[in-house]
Each structure stands twice: as C-alpha cells, then as structure tokens.
A and B are shown apart, each in its own frame.
Chain A
Amino acid sequence: MRKFIVLLLLPFSLIGQEKFTLNGYIREASTGEELIGVNILVPSQQVGTVTNEYGYYSLSLPAGKYNVQYQYIGYQTVIREIDLSRNVELNIELKEASTKLDEVEISDERIDKNVTSVEMSVTQLDTREIQKVPQLLGETDIIRTLTLLPGITTVGEGANGFNVRGGAADQNLILLDEGPVYNSSHLFGFFSIFNADAVKDVKVYKGGIPANYGGRLSSVIDVRQKEGNSKHFAFNGGLGLLSSRLLIESPIVKDKASFMVAARRSYLDIFLKLSSNPEINQNTIYFYDLNTKINWRLGKKDRLFLSGYFGRDVFGIADLFGFDWGNTTGTLRWNHVYNERLFSNTTFVYSDYTYNLGTPEDDAVAFTLTSRIQDYHLKSAYNFYISPTSQLDYGIELIGYQFNPGKVSGFQNIELQQEYALEPNAYISHEKRFGQRFTVQYGLRYSSFYKIGKQKSINYTDPDYPTTASVIDTTYYDSFELIKSFNGLEGLEPRLSVNYLLDESTSLKASYNRTRQYIHLISNTTSPTPVDLYRSAGRYIDPATVHQYALGYFRNFADNTYEASIEVYYKDFINLVDYRPGANLIFNEFIETELLTGIGRAYGAEFLLRKQTGKLTGWIGYTYSKSERKVDSPEQNRTISGGDWYAANYDKRHDLSIVANYQINPNWDVGSSFVFQTGRPITLPEGRFQYEDIVAPIYNNRNNGRVPNYHRLDISATYTPDRVEGKRFYSSWNFGIYNVYGRRNAYSIYFQPEANAINAEGTQTSNFFNTQAVRLSIFAIPIPFVTWNFNF
C-alpha cells in the first residue's frame, strides 16, 4: 500500500524548476461558491486552462508578466496583470453579469470552449439556464431538460429514467456529489429527484467519457450540489402547484465554512383529499427530498466537504397498502493541494436505494417486502498540472456492493439471500496539446469485479442456459470467499479524444471509449419501475461492454455567440441482459433462469445550435438515431424475435427540440420549447387465438410497430418585479402551459378484449370475444402552472 501511495505522488518529483505556477480557486463573488469550468486564458502565450470540479486551477508559465483573463458565461470577465517571478496563488471572485437588459452585452464574452476543448459529446448546463425552460407543473427539472438535448430521450411521459445514445436507462452513471443515484425519478418518472435550487452544476457525457468515470456503459451525469453561501446568510425557495421548496445557506465561519440545506416536498396528496370519491381521497401520494452540504476550508491547502441526499416517494392506498422508495447518498470529501500543480481529492461515498411495500404493521396478516442495494466507494483522484499544455489525471477506487434482493417479514418470513461484490479500479489519463491546433486526451481505466460470499449458489446442468428444471445442487461460499472474478484483460477500458483546430472558430474532434458495466438493472417493463433491482455480474450473468466511436465538427459563429456542432456516433454493445418471454423478475430466487444475453448496436447523428448569451438564448437540437438489439442462439427458445435485430424500447428515429427564451425587458422573460419525436416502438399483435373463452394476442416479433409521432409545445413567462434598492429580498412569478395544444401523445397502445374495460371481476359480458386497441395518453390536456420563487 505504501508503495502505491508513493506511486500516486510520484509527479511531485517531476516538477520543473524553470517555470512558476499561478494557481488558486475561482469563486462566485456574492456567494463564495467555487465555479466549475471557468476559462483562464493567457492570450500572449495562447495558453489556458479551466477550473476543475472544485473550482481549482493551475497554470505553469515561464517567469514574466502576463495579462490573465478569467471568463465564465453569465459572469463579468476579470483581467489581471500578474508578475510571475515566483509561484503565485490567486483566488478570483467573479461577479454575475447584471440581469439588467442594457448591461447584458457586457457579459457577452468570447468563450470558445465548445471549439477548443478536447471534450466532445459533452453538455454542461447551468441551473439558471434550466430554470428558463418551461416545465411540467412549473417544477424545474434537470433530467427533463437534459432530454431536450440531442442524444438524450425518454421512453415517454411517466417513464422512469432516460436513454442516452441508444443505451438503456441503467447505463447512465448518475452522480450526485460523486455518490451514484440508482433511481433518478420521483412519482414513477414524472419528475426527477434533483432539486434544482440545490444544484450548482450539471455535466453530461454522452461519449468520449474520460477515464476517471466508469461502471456504466452509456453516459455520465455529474451533478454537483451547491456548497453553501460563505459570505452571508441567504435563503431561496418557491411555492408551486406540485411542490414547495426552501433552501437555506449560510457561513458558519465567514469565508471558511458554510452549509446548505434544501428541502422539497410535493403535496399531490392534499389535492387527493379534496376529492369526494373515497377511492381517491383516502390515498397518500407524495415525495420529498433533502439536500445538505457542509464545507470547511482547513487552511490554504485543505478542504473538507460533507454532503448528503435523502429522497423518498411515499404512496398508500387508504390504510390497506403502502409503498415507498428512495435514494440516500452521503459523501465525505477531502481536497488537498500537495503543491501548486498537484491537486487531489479523496472521497468516501455511501449510496443506498431501498424500496418497501406492504400492509400496516398492526394488520392481522401484516407483511412488508424490503429490497435494497447499498454501495460504498473509497477513491482518490489526482490532477497534476504539468504545464499549460499538459495535464495528467489519475486515481484509484474501490467499490463494495451489498445487494438485498428481497426480504418479506410479517405473517411469513422469507428472504432472498444477500449478495456481495467488490469492484476495484484505477485510471490514468493525460491531456496534451501539440502546437496550437492539436490536442489529445488519452487514458486507460482498468476495472475488475469480484463476486464474493457469503452465498449459496445454485448449480445448473447447462450453466449457459439455466432453467428451474435443470437445477443440480447448490454450492456454499463462505464470507469473502471468491465466487466469480472478472479481472482479465477485458477489464481494460481505453479512452481517447482528439481535437484538431481547423481555425480559431472551427474544430474537428474524434473520440473512442470502451466502458464496462458490472451491475444490471433487471427489468421487463418498457421503462424501469421502482421495484426493479440491480443484480451484479456473477456465475451466470456477464458484465456488459460497449465500444463507442464518435466524430464531431464544431463551429462557433458571430464571435462565439452561436455554438454549432454535428456529431456522429456508433456503439457496439456486448452482453446486454434481456429477459425471457414471460419472465417473472420480482422476488425470484432463480433470477438467472429468467434472463438471456444479447448484443446491441446504436448509431446516430446529432446536430446542435446553441446560443447562451444575449436577449435570445436557447438551442435547436436534432438527432437521427437507431438503437437495436439482438438475442440469437441456435436454439429457438433462447432467441428473441427469432434471433433477428429488433428495435430497443427507446429507439426513436427523429428527435427535434427547439428551446428558446427571450428577455423582453428587465421584468419579463418568455420561454418556449417544442419537441417532435418519432413514436416509440411497440409490439403489435399478428393475430389472435382462443384459449377457453379467452382471446389472447399472438405476438411474434418484439417491437414490430410504433406509436404515433410525439410532439408538444410548452410556453412560459417569468415576471420579476423591480428589486427594491437596499432590500435583499426579491421574488418572481413563473407561469405557463405544458402541452399548449393538448396533443394526445400516446404513451402506449395496448390491446385487450373489450370486456377488460368494464369487467374487472370476471362476470361474463356479451363482448369479451371482441378486441380493441387503446391509446393511453398521459398529460393529454394543456396543463397550466404557476410558481412563485423568492430569494433573500
């Protein structure tokens, strides 16, 4: 272990003597929040850097005097003259560009990161930008806003999770202050769990995933919570139709320590109580979440963060039945600056996803089903700023998993056995600029996975195709005894991104990444449900892998006012888990007997035109894409759709989003968004057969049809009264309409006997041999909303 630590700190000794380093943190002037991704430019040297996830930057230059520019969209640029005759530590505070209309142009900086950065397939969203997009019930929703970007879609309204570049919902690594979140949805997918007030920054990687991220195939959503105002006490919040929220932040010791607490609770249940129908008014339905963070600067070199998220959805049918689920994450972080050029972050993360369902405890025949996944992460990451054109990032991580697939307690006690696994990994990544035009970032991640005891593992006659009928016996594994390891060369995950600047406003980029995923969400519904559970790779389930290749052309226009990009990608998936026909996945001890393994491919082209400054902001995004899967085998019963390629549930050929916000005057903002998407695939019956008196559909090929195309227009307006001079309290009103023209978009089309519609108890009706197709639309009418937001 000691050797390892020495290796990690090795770059210490590599530090050159000829140059001096300018380093420090960049913060928001009014709150003291560190800013992520701020551009630091030295025009005379044509070099620059950006702040990392903790607002830290470091630039090493030959001795001399320099004009250094600090630029960040929406903030006034700061220019400092720096005499670099020794190492200089310089913390900068950036002031927000005033929202007053006549001053907007001042903040209109020449920021060309879109073109010059080696990153591609990446989008960074500012919560202020998200707040301008019209939202369902006025609830500022990060995930819903992400789905307006090219390459990110959902199966439909009310679908849990989202899909990135033809990947399944479980292939997204969703990090909240580095803690993985297993279910990003509230209310079965209508809203996301992120309270936008508490969020500082959202960064999405759809491709070109850097080596420091791993564990999921398709994307990384890196969400960073606010640290808490270190300057003065402040609060903000809002009252909306769906929920209310309040955030309080304050210094504990000014400029040294601060905290943030944000809470949100929905009150749909209160509306239910207004109904006179006892079927409705006795029910409970709400969600809440709590975001907390404390940070402490322990001198110039060290900083500690402790943050947590607690969220829950609670449902109840009268006092008969209850159902709740939620995520908990806790993160303890230690930032340490070893020297001007070596920054480190050590993190411990605990993450938990639990769901419970059952009857009240005092029932005569009470029962509770609890299911849970917990994981623990310990990681250490290092940024070594070798020179302004060369940066080395490296780190190690160990993840421990504990799966509790299900435990029933009450009138009977049964428990599916717990499962345990370890996932150690390490990465190294180097970004280097050659000359003025060519930048390359190459890295390697190595991941491995160990499924360990204690476990009783079932043996089957054909391990490649386990069935309940082919159980031979069981093998007992003791605590920590190795059951199955994945630690070969297939754990190597190379990453590569290159950028070639054609001219100062145009670049060509290319990237390749191989990512590997050791835990799978086992689901057989169109979109995942809260009761689906992750299962790990092991004796019968292999890890999944994807190769992704992407190519992009990036161009900025009109002095970087407009950013445009075209990206094409191809993804090749191996070992995707699919379910067998009629699979029963809930509370199943023999889960492997319900699964099949297949391959997948996805490809597409994404176009984005974005304007982030000026009176008019927004973007137009269009994606043409295809995502398919294939489960083939010499044996017919191990195939899906006869072993042919079939469309993934979330395959959508065309996806167009237009998002616009216009500032009419200092008091009024108007916004709108329009979405058009090809309807999602569904499986159409190719006939009917009669079994007894039941007419059953004949389905042959999975996803052989589509629901009609989806389109929707939302509008909103925000009124911000003039702020009273000298008063810190101000508020704004946000109102609008979701689905303005009341389009009845089909979430699904289902096929049923007509009798289904009126006959739940089985009494015979005259028309149960007749069948019908029914379109289910969610939010099929224009839905108005109003929210009052306040700040102090």
Chain B
Amino acid sequence: MKTVFFISKFLIIVFLLSSCQDVIDIDVPENQASISISGRITDSQGGYAVVSTTANYFTQGETPKVENAKVFLFEDGSMVTEMLPDSVPGLYTTSFNGSIGKEYEIEVQVMDNNPAFKAGTWRSSAETMQRIFTIDSIRIRQLDRNTAPQVFEKGSYALMYFQEPPGQGDAYRITRWKNDSLFTQTIFIFDDSNFDGLYVGEKGRIPAFNFFGPFDEDENDSAGIEVASLTRNYFDFLELVGSQVFNVGSTFDPPPETIIGNIYDVSSPDEYGFGYFGASAISTGGVRYNP
C-alpha cells in the first residue's frame, strides 16, 4: 500500500506542470437496485446493522435506507436475538455481545412494502469472531525525523504499545477519535504478517504504533483508539473498499473491481447483495494531551 502511495506522490510531482484534472459529466449504466448491509457484532459493545439499497453512482447524498426490515442475529447457527430498529432510519441494533471463536450471521427479511427492490431474505455468510490483543499502554511521545523516519512533522504523538499474539493470521482494523469526534471516511487496517508475535514498541526492534498526532500544542485534546479483530475475508473486503474509493486518481490506480462482501440472497445464493456483516472482538484506549 505504501508503495502505491509513494508512486502516486512522485507522479503528482511529474504531472504538476502539465497535467490537469477536470470534473466531467459522463453517463454510467444503472442496474436494478439491490440490498446493501453494513454492520458488525462485537464482544463488548453490542452490534448493529444498517440496511440500505444501492443507487445510481451519481445519486447524490446518502443511499435510500430500508426501514421496515426484520433483522435477526445468529450465533453458531442458532438465532440469538432480533436487532431492533433505531430512531435513525435503516439502523438496527442489539445489546447482545458475541464471544471469540463463535460464528455469527445476520438475516435480513425485506417485506413487500419496500418500493426500492423486491421482497426477500438476505443473509451474511458466517464470520468467526477472532481474538484480539489487550492494549498494554498508550503514551504520548515527542517524535521527529531522527526518532521515527515516517514522521513528517515534529511534535507529540499518541503511541500504542501491545503484545501481538503469536501465530500468524491475525488482522485488525483501527478506528480513531479526536475528542469525541470519530474519524470517518478512512479504512485503517493491518495484519500481523510482518510482526507476528512481537511486542510492538520494543526498544530497538519495532517502534510503537503511532496512531495520532501531532497534538496541537495549545489544546487539551484527547485521542481515542479502537482495535477490532478481523477475519481474513473481512480484511480483504475492507482493503478492497479502501483501494476502490480512496486510491484513485493516478496512472497506477488499482483497476476497478467488483466489491463483493458476504451478503447473499437466501433463495438464490449466487445472487449477492452488497456490504459486509462482520464479527469483531475489540480493545479500546485513549490518552489526553496536556500542553
């Protein structure tokens, strides 16, 4: 991923003098609307699902939500709870917490009275909730180019220290907050292929995980982090979404690809919906900067 980033950066320099980017009008094909589900079940913060429909690519604003669906959560094949509609249209929630090692699916029943697309039952394929590490500590450190070459700006950064569990195959997603406002519009994922079983933050070996910074030196800001465990499938899905949405605009773009998640039509399993319902165990932490 980094390579692609740097190549894009070089290209920006190369093109600077002569290239141009114009927003243009272009006709795009349009297919019959289909279902899209995004959501997850966690081990400590309950679960949610947002049910919406697909739309023409140039439809502006949020995609239409499906408000009168029935949403059920399954654990190891048995229904454990119904996720109930929230006041936010299309959002269904539960306070049920899952357990590491168990399999989760949701089933979404869409009734006849939904005009956007045909009635039917949609289901997510089973996701096993993966293990998560405990965050050892979160500290604020002064960093500059000499101490951490990837730090472009000198300042105070929030660093996370943790023991990555031995055994390759773990994958994680990071979500971050500044004060209580969530950084949306980013997909920040990584796997343990390069540091399996290591203590991240061990001096002289592997630097601590830098997740926020530099802090504004005059503000009393806080930085929060959530680490969620992912299955390989969930990881691949998020990686694909990230590359298709955010990594565009250069001559070395990854080519457009169909983003298939884990949602399918129960009556004809070859017919897939969009989005993903995942299961994640989570660890959270935070730190406040004192100027």
Smallest Cβ distance from A588 to chain B, in angstroms? 10
Residues of A within 8 A of B15 (CB): 158, 778
Given the interface pairs A685-B28, A768-B185, A770-B60, the reply to whether A690 lies near B245 with Cβ below 8 Å is no
Residues of B within 8 A of A772 (CB): 23, 58
Smallest Cβ distance from A473 to chain B, in angstroms? 15
User: Does A521 sit within 8 A of B, measured CB to CB?
Assistant: no
User: For residue A364, which residue of chain B has the nearest CB?
Assistant: B147
> Hey, what's the 0/1 contact readout for B13-24 against A, CB within 8 Å counting as 1?
111101111111
Inter-chain contact B18/A755, CB cutoff 8 Å: no
User: Does A756 sit within 8 A of B, measured CB to CB?
Assistant: yes
Q: How far is B145's CA from A360's CA once the two chains are assembled, in angstroms? A: 11
User: Does B187 sit within 8 A of A, measured CB to CB?
Assistant: yes
Given the interface pairs A283-B13, A762-B183, A770-B61, the reply to whether A692 lies near B38 with Cβ below 8 Å is yes
Residues of A within 8 A of B258 (CB): 581, 698-700
Inter-chain contact A774/B249, CB cutoff 8 Å: yes
Inter-chain contact B6/A317, CB cutoff 8 Å: yes
Given the interface pairs A357-B3, A527-B251, A698-B258, the reply to whether A690 lies near B22 with Cβ below 8 Å is no
User: For residue B60, which residue of chain A has the nearest CB?
Assistant: A770
Pick the residue among B24, B25, B56, B251 that contacts A526 (CB under 8 A): B251
Interface residues of B, dominant DSSP: loop
Residues of B within 8 A of A280 (CB): 13, 16
Residues of A within 8 A of B63 (CB): 688-690, 695
Counting chain A CB atoms within 10 Å of each CB, which of B7, B57, B205, B207 scores highest? B57
Within 8 A of B (CB), among A746-768: 747-753, 755-756, 759, 762-764, 768
User: Does A378 sit within 8 A of B, measured CB to CB?
Assistant: no
Inter-chain contact B52/A689, CB cutoff 8 Å: yes
Smallest Cβ distance from A688 to chain B, in angstroms? 5
Inter-chain contact B60/A687, CB cutoff 8 Å: no
Inter-chain contact A773/B56, CB cutoff 8 Å: no
Residues of B within 8 A of A636 (CB): 270
> Hey, what's the 0/1 contact readout for A361-372 against B, CB within 8 Å counting as 1?
001111001000
Q: How far is B28's CA from A682's CA once the two chains are assembled, in angstroms? A: 11
Inter-chain contact A320/B30, CB cutoff 8 Å: no
Q: How far is B22's CA from A586's CA once the two chains are assembled, in angstroms? A: 31
User: Does A704 sit within 8 A of B, measured CB to CB?
Assistant: yes
User: Does B218 sit within 8 A of A, measured CB to CB?
Assistant: no
At the interface with chain A, which of B70-78, B127-135, B235-243?
B235-243
Residues of B within 8 A of A283 (CB): 10, 13
Inter-chain contact B6/A321, CB cutoff 8 Å: yes
Residues of B within 8 A of A369 (CB): 3
Residues of B within 8 A of A488 (CB): none
Q: How far is B6's CA from A315's CA once the two chains are assembled, in angstroms? A: 10
User: Does A524 sit within 8 A of B, measured CB to CB?
Assistant: yes
User: Does A781 sit within 8 A of B, measured CB to CB?
Assistant: yes
> Hey, what's the 0/1 contact readout for A186-206 against B, CB within 8 Å counting as 1?
011110000000000000000
Residues of A within 8 A of B58 (CB): 771-773
At the interface with chain A, which of B81-89, B118-126, B148-156?
B148-156
Within 8 A of A (CB), among B16-55: 16, 18-26, 28-31, 33-34, 36, 38, 50, 52, 54-55
Inter-chain contact B251/A748, CB cutoff 8 Å: yes
Inter-chain contact B18/A779, CB cutoff 8 Å: yes
Given the interface pairs A359-B149, A763-B183, the reply to whether A531 lies near B30 with Cβ below 8 Å is no
User: Does B62 sit within 8 A of A, measured CB to CB?
Assistant: yes
Given the interface pairs A188-B11, A783-B18, the reply to whether A769 lies near B61 with Cβ below 8 Å is yes
Given the interface pairs A188-B251, A688-B56, A778-B15, the reply to whether A769 lies near B206 with Cβ below 8 Å is no
User: Does A272 sit within 8 A of B, measured CB to CB?
Assistant: yes
> Hey, what's the 0/1 contact readout for A675-704 against B, CB within 8 Å counting as 1?
000000011111111111111111110101
User: Does B113 sit within 8 A of A, measured CB to CB?
Assistant: no
Pick the residue among B36, B184, B270 that contacts A762 (CB under 8 A): B184
User: Does A338 sit within 8 A of B, measured CB to CB?
Assistant: no
Residues of A within 8 A of B150 (CB): 320, 365
Residues of A within 8 A of B249 (CB): 750, 752, 756, 774, 776
User: Does B59 sit within 8 A of A, measured CB to CB?
Assistant: yes
User: Does A483 sit within 8 A of B, measured CB to CB?
Assistant: no
Given the interface pairs A529-B7, A744-B20, the reply to whether A582 lies near B60 with Cβ below 8 Å is no
Inter-chain contact B259/A773, CB cutoff 8 Å: no
Residues of A within 8 A of B11 (CB): 158, 188
Within 8 A of B (CB), among A229-260: none
Pick the residue among B50, B152, B184, B248 that contacts A750 (CB under 8 A): B248
Counting chain A CB atoms within 10 Å of each CB, which of B18, B29, B30, B38 scores highest? B18
Q: How far is B71's CA from A89's CA once the two chains are assembled, in angstroms? A: 93
User: For residue B240, which residue of chain A has the nearest CB?
Assistant: A582
Pick the residue among A688, A690, A773 that contacts B26 (CB under 8 A): A773
Given the interface pairs A582-B243, A691-B241, A752-B249, the reply to whether A363 lies near B149 with Cβ below 8 Å is yes
Q: How far is B205's CA from A365's CA once the two chains are assembled, in angstroms? A: 9
User: For residue A360, which residue of chain B has the nearest CB?
Assistant: B149
Smallest Cβ distance from B153 to chain A, in angstroms? 12
User: Does A414 sit within 8 A of B, measured CB to CB?
Assistant: yes
User: Does B209 sit within 8 A of A, measured CB to CB?
Assistant: no
Q: How far is B251's CA from A526's CA once the two chains are assembled, in angstroms? A: 7
Smallest Cβ distance from B212 to chain A, in angstroms? 11
Inter-chain contact B20/A692, CB cutoff 8 Å: no
Smallest Cβ distance from A96 to chain B, in angstroms? 37
Inter-chain contact A773/B23, CB cutoff 8 Å: yes
Q: How far is B57's CA from A204's CA once the two chains are assembled, in angstroms? A: 44
User: Does A411 sit within 8 A of B, measured CB to CB?
Assistant: yes
Inter-chain contact B257/A582, CB cutoff 8 Å: yes
User: Does A285 sit within 8 A of B, measured CB to CB?
Assistant: yes
Residues of A within 8 A of B241 (CB): 691, 694, 696
Residues of A within 8 A of B290 (CB): none
Pick the residue among B24, B248, B254 that contacts A752 (CB under 8 A): B248
Inter-chain contact B18/A778, CB cutoff 8 Å: yes
Q: How far is B274's CA from A189's CA once the two chains are assembled, in angstroms? A: 37
User: Does A159 sit within 8 A of B, measured CB to CB?
Assistant: yes
User: Does B190 sit within 8 A of A, measured CB to CB?
Assistant: no
Smallest Cβ distance from A772 to chain B, in angstroms? 5
Inter-chain contact A697/B245, CB cutoff 8 Å: yes
User: Does A780 sit within 8 A of B, measured CB to CB?
Assistant: yes
Q: How far is B185's CA from A777's CA once the two chains are assembled, in angstroms? A: 27
Inter-chain contact B57/A685, CB cutoff 8 Å: yes
Within 8 A of A (CB), among B255-270: 255-261, 270
User: For residue A582, which residue of chain B has the nearest CB?
Assistant: B240
Within 8 A of A (CB), among B176-205: 181, 183-187, 194-195, 205
Inter-chain contact B57/A357, CB cutoff 8 Å: no
Inter-chain contact A159/B243, CB cutoff 8 Å: no
Q: How far is B150's CA from A581's CA once the two chains are assembled, in angstroms? A: 30
Counting chain B CB atoms within 10 Å of each CB, which of A317, A524, A686 scores highest? A686
Residues of B within 8 A of A759 (CB): 185
Q: How far is B249's CA from A118's CA once the two chains are assembled, in angstroms? A: 47
Inter-chain contact A762/B20, CB cutoff 8 Å: no
Residues of A within 8 A of B217 (CB): none
Q: How far is B183's CA from A755's CA once the two chains are assembled, in angstroms? A: 14
Smallest Cβ distance from B79 to chain A, in angstroms? 25
Counting chain A CB atoms within 10 Å of each CB, which of B14, B16, B63, B236 scores highest? B14
User: Does B99 sit within 8 A of A, measured CB to CB?
Assistant: no
Given the interface pairs A317-B9, A693-B184, the reply to whether A698 lies near B274 with Cβ below 8 Å is yes
User: Does A323 sit within 8 A of B, measured CB to CB?
Assistant: yes
User: Does A412 sit within 8 A of B, measured CB to CB?
Assistant: yes
Query: 25 A-B Cβ contacts within 8 A?
Result: A158-B11, A190-B14, A280-B16, A411-B207, A525-B254, A527-B251, A581-B240, A687-B31, A687-B34, A687-B55, A687-B56, A690-B63, A694-B184, A700-B258, A704-B29, A747-B251, A752-B245, A755-B185, A756-B248, A762-B183, A771-B58, A773-B58, A774-B249, A776-B250, A777-B21
Give the 5 A-B CB pairs with smallest separation, nearest first.
Answer: A683-B256, A689-B274, A689-B36, A363-B149, A581-B257
Known interface pairs A320-B145, A697-B57; 14 further A-B residue pairs with C-beta atoms within 8 A, sorted by A's residue number: A365-B150, A525-B252, A688-B63, A691-B274, A695-B63, A696-B241, A696-B244, A698-B54, A698-B259, A744-B22, A748-B251, A770-B61, A780-B18, A780-B19
